[in-house]
A and B are shown apart, each in its own frame.
Chain A
Amino acid sequence: MSGGGRSRCPDCGCAELVEDSHYAQSQLVCADCGCVVSEGLLTTTFADEGHLQEVTYSRSTGESEQVSRSQQRGLRRVRDLCRVLQLPSTFEDTAVSYYQRAFQHPGLHAARLQKKEVLVGCCVLVTCRQHNWPLTMGTICALLYANLELFSGTYLQIVKVLGLDVPALSLADLVKTYCSSFKLFQASPSVSVKFVEDKEKMVSRTLQLVELASETWLVTGRHPVPVITAAAYLAWRSLQPGGRLTCSLSRFCKLAGVDLPHPAYLRVQELLDILLRMAGQLAWLRILNLDKQTVVKHIGDLLQHRCILLRQAFRDEAEEEEGDEQQQEEGEEAGSSTLEMPEKKRPASSPPPLLPPCMLRPPKRPCPTPADSRVTGEEDISDSEIEQYLRTPREIKDFQRAQAASQAGTSAPITS
């Protein structure tokens, strides 16, 4: 044990002082010249521990070397969680290292046990995200019996504290995993033959519908899982519309053996709206006057031509604006009629803009008018204005009497 940071040897001036013991007496000896600097006065925690004297745990050397029981349990839970989720073994090591790093931070070190449990899930989630393994927070919370609020707080904290770069949830992988968990690919007592579907076809069509949804602003800002449920439902129905058109969303989820997230209803409606608009661009579908039920039969065709149909069905505002500006300049110079620019000119029944649903709904209430900016903050305050907030003595007495009566009422037994 070197005594770095202590005094220097008075003889040779070297700082290398070694703690040595001459029989039972501890001495501080210079490593170079052997001069005894001091003796019998030295105690360190290590020495104390060696001499079987009491040292507080937090000052002892043991704490930094050993892994505390709570941390050990946490690390074990991380490994267990990785095994339950059937993650590759490399994930386990990464998750364990994140947990250890997180545990060293004072904010998380002294957190309640509940938070440490949730921390286990957060480390696993970060690991999965970084390897593009689609794992939702809902799944982890369900496995840990944790509430999402605590989980979200801990997750955001750990990302900030450890400075982690967490990529976004990959939607395509999530679709594949989620669809694979459906129990629709084999006939069983609960799933009749007409409901059974080929997995590949279903996954690919669901993927196409999810891509369509993300292009048409149905995914941004929304929870990903209900979108996928809605897409899977429509895909499954469209692959064999014959027997499945009448099947409701809740029944589909029961058949598939997955939970029905409530927003899925809205997503289904939004997707059907988009599909109907696209169908309006195909001549042979326009004459059929499709509605939300019948359009499902043609989803295959619509998805096949979705790029062109989207462009035709929805006005892209940004492109329109550029077109208009060019129109203005050209129009001013050439003075030509607008007939020369047929494509840019908006027809009487213009296609609707492609916007997120929240922008298409009318605003709930008008924007409040901003405050009068003539206020300086130093205006006079009239007495009458203040007095309106004060109780008169009579009111005070009434209030006190009412308070006393209510307290007496609550303390007395309730009579009919």
Chain B
Amino acid sequence: MPYDSYLHMSSNQETFASHLDPSKESSTDVSSVDLSFLPDELNQENTEQTLTEGKQGVERNHEIQGDPSRLQSVSEKNSNGICTDNFNLSNSGSNPLPTENSTLPSPENSSSSFFPLTSMTPLMPVTPVSESSGIVPQLQNIVSTVNLACKLDLKKIALHAKNAEYNPKRFAAVIMRIREPRTTALIFSSGKMVCTGAKSEELSRLAARKFARVVQKLGFPARFLDFKIQNMVGSCDVRFPIRLESLVLTHQQFSSYEPELFPGLIYRMVKPRIVLLIFVSGKVVLTGAKERSEIYEAFENIYPILKSFKKA
């Protein structure tokens, strides 16, 4: 679960050669992280680097907060799930770096002097965590389109491919599925293709390439043009119940709450242009993003609003 995601991220960050696009990949941000365990000169370097770093689209306070203030904001019991245990562990006493629970300066700006440290311990990068929420929305679905740039014979594709279904009376496209990554594609006779179901941008691109490769192997001169992410859907849980009736009163111009029609509140955020579905259980679904940062930014914008409705 969320804790596991940190482990994955940490092993990822060990390979500094990986040039993941910082805007796409969950990049590290040490703005809210306690770096007191690092020797002074490294600490200094680090703060400068984070201050000069510009994160795309995510407006966040880049100040490094001291211990006590951060402890308070993060120590809310289990309501913010992820960060609590990790940060508590890393702050307890003077021990050097318990294995999973330390924090890491961002890879793109790390100088070679940091390498020895990282090779000793798998340091854990901090994903876009704002000092206020500590919750990261998980991406659930990515919809992308690509142009294969050749006319396709859908009947032939349906005949030669095992994973394709084609019912021209119902829908004028072949529905093809692959197992890894688990995605579905709609392939039209014009050569345009829609790929859905991937959990990240890279996986969506990989899946689209696999579909294109299948079409190629079927004998069509398929290319891979204009790959574009059209929509991204993320979800997360704030872990406390929300008074939707009050939220719709105070944010009337953005919210639509009709319990007769739908149990959730539909919040249309203007900047970034994201639609959020907010439910009484505290679960939030964010959709309409073209970039990952928009989802994170939207959640950081809505979290203080939701927190103000925390008390019944």
Q: Check if B5 is an interface residue, CB within 8 A of chain A.
A: yes
Do B213 and A381 touch across chains, with their CB atoms under 8 A apart? yes
Once the chains are docked, how many angstroms separate the CA of A317 from the CA of B257?
A: 25
Give Cα A391–Cα B217 distance, bound, in whole angstroms: 11
A318, B159: Cα distance in complex, Å? 60
Asked whether A390 and B160 contact (CB < 8 A) given A223-B260, A366-B1, the answer is: yes
Can you name the residue of chain A whose Cβ is closest to the Cβ of B160?
A391
Across the interface, name the chain A residue whose C-beta is closest to B215.
Answer: A386
What residues of chain A lie closer than 8 Å to B15, measured between beta carbons? 374
Measured in the bound complex, the distance between the Cα atoms of B202 and A399 in whole Å is 35
Main secondary structure of the interface of B (DSSP, over half): loop
Contact check, B76 vs A381: say whether CB atoms are below 8 A apart: no
Whole-angstrom distance between the Cβ of B116 and the nearest chain A Cβ: 23
User: Cβ of B163: which chain A residues have Cβ within 8 Å of it?
Assistant: 389
In the bound complex, what is the Cα–Cα distance between A66 and B105 (angstroms)? 71
Among listed B42-50, B57-65, B204-212, interface-contacting one? B204-212
Give complex CA distance A356, B75 in Å. Answer: 24
Q: Is there an interface contact between B241 and A217, defined as CB atoms closer than 8 Å?
A: yes
Q: How many of chain A's residues touch chain B, expressed as a range?
A: 35 or more
- Residues of chain B within 8 A of A377, CB atoms compared: 201-206, 209
In-complex Cβ contact of B260 among A169, A319, A321 (8 A):
A169
Residues in A whose Cβ lies below 8 Å from that of B200:
371, 373, 375
CA distance A156 to B262 in the complex (A): 12
Partner of A389, one of B1, B161, B282: B161
User: B231: which A residues are within 8 A, CB to CB?
Assistant: none
Q: List 17 A-B contacts (CB under 8 A).
A: A214-B245, A219-B245, A220-B243, A220-B244, A221-B279, A316-B311, A321-B76, A325-B72, A366-B1, A370-B8, A371-B199, A372-B8, A373-B9, A376-B202, A390-B161, A390-B214, A396-B159
Question: B217 touching A386 by the CB < 8 A rule?
Answer: yes
| Most A Cβ at <10 Å: residue of B178, B205, B281, B310 | B281
B248 interfacial contact with A, CB 8 Å: yes
Give per-residue flags for A354-370: 1 if the beta carbon is below 8 A from chain B beta carbons, else 0. 11101100000011011
Give the Cβ gap from B21 to chain A, nearest Cβ, in Å.
Answer: 9
Beta-carbon contacts under 8 Å, A281-322 to B: 316-319, 321
Are A370 and B217 closer than 8 Å at their CB atoms? no
User: Which chain A residues border B84 with CB–CB below 8 Å?
Assistant: none
Taken together as a complex, chains A and B put the C-alpha atoms of A400 and B310 apart, in Å, by 62
Decide if B213 touches A137 in the complex (CB within 8 Å). Answer: no
Q: Measured between C-beta atoms, what is the minimum distance from B234 to chain A in Å?
A: 11
A390 contacts across to B, CB distance below 8 A: 160-162, 214, 217-218
A387 CB within 8 Å of chain B: yes
A residues near B (Cβ < 8 Å) are 136-138, 148, 152, 155-156, 159, 165, 168-169, 214-215, 217, 219-224, 316-319, 321, 324-325, 354-356, 358-359, 366-367, 369-379, 381, 385-391, 395-396, 399-400
Nearest 8 CB-CB pairings of A with B: A377-B205, A377-B202, A221-B263, A221-B280, A375-B202, A318-B311, A371-B199, A220-B280
Cβ-closest chain B residue relative to A216 = B312
**CA distance in complex: A219, B218 (Å):** 56
Quick check: is B306 within 8 A (CB to CB) of the other chain?
no
Contacts of A136 in B (CB 8 A): 260
- The listed residue with most A CB atoms (<10 A of its CB), out of B72, B160, B218, B257, is B160
Any chain A CB within 8 A of the CB of B118? Answer: no
Query: Are B312 and A318 in contact, CB atoms less than 8 angstroms apart?
Result: yes
Pick the contact of A381: B4, B9, B160, B209 (CB < 8 A). B209
A370 in contact with B311 (CB, 8 Å): no
A386-B214, A389-B163 in contact; A373/B75 too (CB < 8 A)?
no
**A220→B8 CA distance, assembly (Å):** 37
Residues of A within 8 A of B203 (CB): 371, 375, 377
> Are A223 and B259 closer than 8 Å at their CB atoms?
yes
Q: Which of A168, A224, A375 is the most central at the interface, judged by chain B CB atoms within 10 Å of its CB? A: A375
- The residue that A138 contacts in the complex, of B77, B257, B260, with Cβ under 8 A, is B260
Q: In the assembly, what is the distance between CA of A371 and CA of B204, in Å?
A: 12
Q: Which of A354, A358, A373 contacts B281 (CB 8 A)?
A: A358
Whether B5 lies near A370 (C-beta < 8 A) is yes
Select which of A324, A376, A391 is within 8 A of B77 by beta carbon. A324
For A220, the closest partner residue in chain B by CB is B280
- Which residues from chain B contact A376 at a C-beta distance below 8 Å? 18, 20, 202
Determine if A389 and B178 form an interchain contact, defined as CB atoms under 8 angstroms apart.
yes
> In the complex, are the beta carbons of A156 and B256 less than 8 A apart?
yes
Closest chain-A Cβ to B126's Cβ sits at a distance in Å of 14
CB distance from B90 to the nearest CB of A (A): 18
**A168→B259 CA distance, assembly (Å):** 9
Tell me, rounded to whole Å, the shortest Cβ–Cβ distance linking B216 to chain A: 8
**How close is B214's CB to chain A, nearest CB, in angstroms?**
6
A370: chain B residues within 8 A (beta carbon) = 4-5, 8, 138, 199
Q: Which chain B residue lies CB-closest to A148?
A: B261
Please state if A159 and B201 are interface contacts (CB–CB under 8 Å). Answer: no
| Inter-chain contact B9/A355, CB cutoff 8 Å | no
Give A289 to B215 CA distance when docked, in angstroms: 70
B230 within 8 A of A: no
Find chain B residues with CB under 8 A from A387 CB.
Answer: 217
Chain B nearest Cβ from A331, distance in angstroms: 14
CB distance from B28 to the nearest CB of A (A): 12
Which residues 133-175 of B sit at the A interface, judged by CB distance below 8 A? 138, 159-163
Q: Are A356 and B241 in contact (CB under 8 A)?
A: yes
CB distance from A34 to the nearest CB of B (A): 57
| A-B contact sample (6 more), CB < 8 A, given A375-B203, A377-B201, A377-B202 | A136-B260, A148-B261, A220-B242, A318-B311, A370-B5, A386-B210
